[in-house]
């Protein structure tokens, strides 16, 4: 069903109503970013600090204006980044400036207003409104967009307004998402995600945000609610089309996003050497593929100006090499996908690796295995590991139910009797379902 613009608008506002911490990322993200993001930021912008990335753009632009400077934030959210920027500017002696902060959500602006330190209120002008339909009656020395552009539907109009509102010497500075719409994967990126997916244990395949287990990676379209990633793939091309020129650019991200972001990243323990070995290897290959141009970045840190000049970029990742034609696919992709299909996931490997991270899951019977029901469960799981079935979800269901059944059998409380009977019925029903799937596959 097609949603109206007003419905999407309400969804976007409601999405952050209960979100107190907007900038949190799992620890594994920071482990990865130390080797993958920090060096690029340092080389291109002279700093690895996000706050300083924006401050330097503001200061560079303000130097060219003899009057008190003005700055604009497009989609400021709760203002955590903007407040830190303003505090740094004041600390460096810039005592007079105006910082206009614009956001769709009055809920977030209320949090912003409440968080402004005493004595700094005069620097800020907070405005609630729809960036898709707005204009400004003043000129700004620097305009920032911190992870807000990928929420904007009418990018053309917003970029036009930003271009016209930016001083000739001004800087448009942004950190944002530039991957496929809805934060989905391009086919070549999806190939590498699918390649590594069998290396994940069952617990690592748990989508924390969507609260589901993904036996195979499901490429969720985040734009199905609100405006999340609504036109992400056009964020960069339309900036250039509007007339902005890249001055400093650093592109990063790719297949690694899946493993370190909010959905699956919390499943990787930075204290676990095995987890870190895997994510660091994936991160290394991600960088190699970006440098080779095989895969395109999904995120950027960038300064743009109205005047053309020499572009500073990281390694080989210029803006021109970052752009991806929407209608084209790499010539190698079809053969690669076909080759991967000839080597399907091995259930035997998957469940063996799962047992290493989850010792309570019994995969195969041992010499001292229990008798009766326990041995039957172990034998069934062993058979499952070699079965050729279409439904990995059915296998996962049976394993989960087997774990619950074993736990109940081990308990001695009278309260376990009723649940035990229910779980047993569910278990038997799943076995019948699996048998039907296997039968129809073989015939």
Query: Which residue did the predictor score with more confidence, 350 or 145?
Result: 145
pLDDT number for residue 115: 97
Q: Is residue 314 part of a domain?
A: yes
Please report the pLDDT score of residue 405 as a whole number.
57
Structural domain contains residue 340: no
- The answer to whether the pTM exceeds 0.85 is no
- Do 210 and 357 sit in the same domain of this protein? no
Do residues 19 and 146 both lie within one domain? yes
> In this structure, are 133 and 87 located in the same domain?
yes
CB atoms within 10 A of CB 327: 4
Looking at the chain, the whole-number percentage of residues with pLDDT higher than 70 is 72
401 and 261 together in one domain: no
Q: Is 269 a member of any domain?
A: yes
- Residues 49, 184, single domain; the answer is yes
- Contact at 8 Å (CB) between 403 and 360? yes
The winner for highest mean pLDDT among 103-107, 227-231, 297-301 is 297-301
Element (H, E) at 296: none
| 388 and 321 together in one domain | no
* Domain of residue 292, residue span: 5-335
Tell me, yes or no, whether 254 and 372 share the same domain: no
Count the helix, strand and coil residues of the chain and give each as a percent rounded to the nearest 5. 50, 15, 35
Radius of gyration of the chain (CA): 26
Structure tokens at 265: 């990243």
CA dist., res. 310 & res. 248, Å (int): 9
Total domains in the fold of the chain: 2
Q: How confident is the model at residue 24 (pLDDT cuts 50, 70, 90)?
A: confident
Structure confidence at residue 146 (pLDDT)? 97
Sign of CA dihedral 254, 260, 261, 265: positive
Domain finish residue from 275, 300, 335: 335
Q: Where is pLDDT greater, at 75 or 9?
A: 75
**Which range, of 11-20, 72-81, 118-127, 241-250, averages the lowest pLDDT?**
11-20
Secondary element (H or E) of residue 114: helix 106-115
Count CA within 13 A, CB hemisphere, residue 10: 4
Q: What is the CA 279 to chain-centroid distance, rounded?
A: 15
Q: Which of 187-191, 213-217, 414-418 has the lowest mean pLDDT?
A: 414-418
pLDDT digits (tens, 9 = 90+) for 199-253: 998 899 999 999 999 989 999 999 988 789 999 999 999 999 999 999 999 999 9
Within-domain flag for 31: yes
How many whole angstroms separate alpha carbon 273 and alpha carbon 356?
A: 13
Domain contains 341: no
Q: Is residue 229 part of a domain?
A: yes
Q: Within this chain, do residues 244 and 354 fall inside the same structural domain, yes or no?
A: no
What's the rounded mean pLDDT across residues 33-54? Answer: 97
Transcribe 245-282 into DSSP letters: EEEEEEEE-STHHHHHSTTTGGGS-TT-HHHHHHHHHH
**Calpha distance 394→381 (Å, rounded):** 12
Same domain, 328 and 352: no
Above 50 in pLDDT, residue 16? no
User: Domain boundary residue among 335, 361, 391?
Assistant: 335
**Non-local CB neighbours of 248 within 8 Å, separated by 6+ positions:** 44, 45, 301, 302, 303, 311, 312, 313
Confidence of residue 128 (pLDDT cuts 50, 70, 90): very high
C-beta atoms surrounding 146 within 10 Å: 22
Last residue of a domain, one of 300, 335, 370: 335
Q: Is residue 137 part of a domain?
A: yes
Comparing CA positions, the residue from 116, 114, 72, 120 lying closest to residue 96 is 120
Residue 386 lies in a domain: yes
Is 41 in the same domain as 185?
yes
Query: Measured in whole angstroms, how far is the alpha carbon of residue 439 from the centre of its chain?
Result: 40
Q: What percent of the chain has pLDDT over 90?
A: 66
Q: What is the mean pLDDT of the chain?
A: 83
């Amino acid at each position: 069903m097609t949603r109206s613009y007003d419905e999407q608008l309400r969804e976007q506002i409601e999405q952050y109503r209960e979100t107190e911490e907007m900038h949190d990322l799992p620890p594994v993200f920071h482990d990865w970013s130390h080797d993958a993001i920090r060096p690029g930021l340092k080389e291109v912008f002279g700093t690895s600090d996000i706050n300083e990335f924006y401050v330097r753009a503001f200061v560079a632009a303000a130097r060219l204006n003899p009057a008190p400077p003005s700055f604009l934030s497009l989609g400021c959210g709760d203002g955590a980044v903007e407040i830190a920027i303003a505090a740094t500017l004041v600390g460096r002696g810039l005592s007079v400036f105006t910082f206009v902060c614009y956001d769709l959500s009055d809920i977030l602006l209320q949090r912003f207003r409440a968080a402004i330190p005493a004595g700094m209120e005069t620097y800020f002008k907070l405005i609630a409104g729809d960036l898709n339909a707005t204009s400004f009656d003043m000129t700004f020395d620097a305009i920032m967009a911190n992870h807000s552009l990928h929420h904007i539907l009418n990018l053309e109009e917003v970029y036009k307004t930003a271009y016209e509102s930016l001083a000739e010497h001004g800087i448009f500075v942004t950190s944002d998402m530039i991957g496929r719409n809805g934060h989905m994967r391009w086919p070549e990126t999806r190939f590498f995600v699918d390649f590594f997916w069998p290396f994940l244990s069952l617990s690592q395949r748990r989508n924390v945000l969507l609260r589901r287990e993904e036996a195979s990676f499901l490429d969720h379209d985040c734009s199905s609610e609100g405006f999340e990633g609504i036109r992400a793939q056009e964020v960069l091309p339309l900036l250039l089309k509007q007339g902005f020129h890249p001055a400093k650019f650093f592109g990063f991200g790719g297949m690694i996003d899946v493993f370190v972001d909010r959905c699956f990243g919390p499943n990787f323990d930075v204290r676990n050497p095995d987890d870190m070995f895997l994510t660091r290897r994936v991160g290394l290959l991600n960088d190699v593929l970006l440098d080779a141009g095989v895969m395109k970045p999904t995120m950027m840190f960038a300064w743009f100006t109205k005047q053309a000049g020499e572009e500073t970029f990281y390694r080989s990742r210029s803006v021109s090499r970052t752009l991806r034609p929407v209608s084209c696919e790499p010539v190698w992709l079809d053969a690669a996908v076909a080759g991967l299909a000839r080597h399907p996931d091995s259930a035997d490997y998957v469940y063996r690796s799962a047992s290493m991270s989850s010792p309570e899951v019994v995969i195969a019977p041992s010499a001292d295995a229990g008798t009766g029901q326990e041995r039957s469960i172990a034998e069934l799981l062993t058979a499952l590991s070699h079965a050729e079935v279409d439904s990995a979800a059915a296998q996962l269901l049976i394993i989960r139910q087997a774990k619950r059944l074993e736990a109940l059998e081990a308990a001695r409380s009278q309260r376990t009797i009723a649940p035990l009977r229910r779980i047993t019925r569910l278990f038997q029903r799943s076995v019948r379902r699996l048998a039907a799937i296997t039968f129809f596959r073989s015939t």
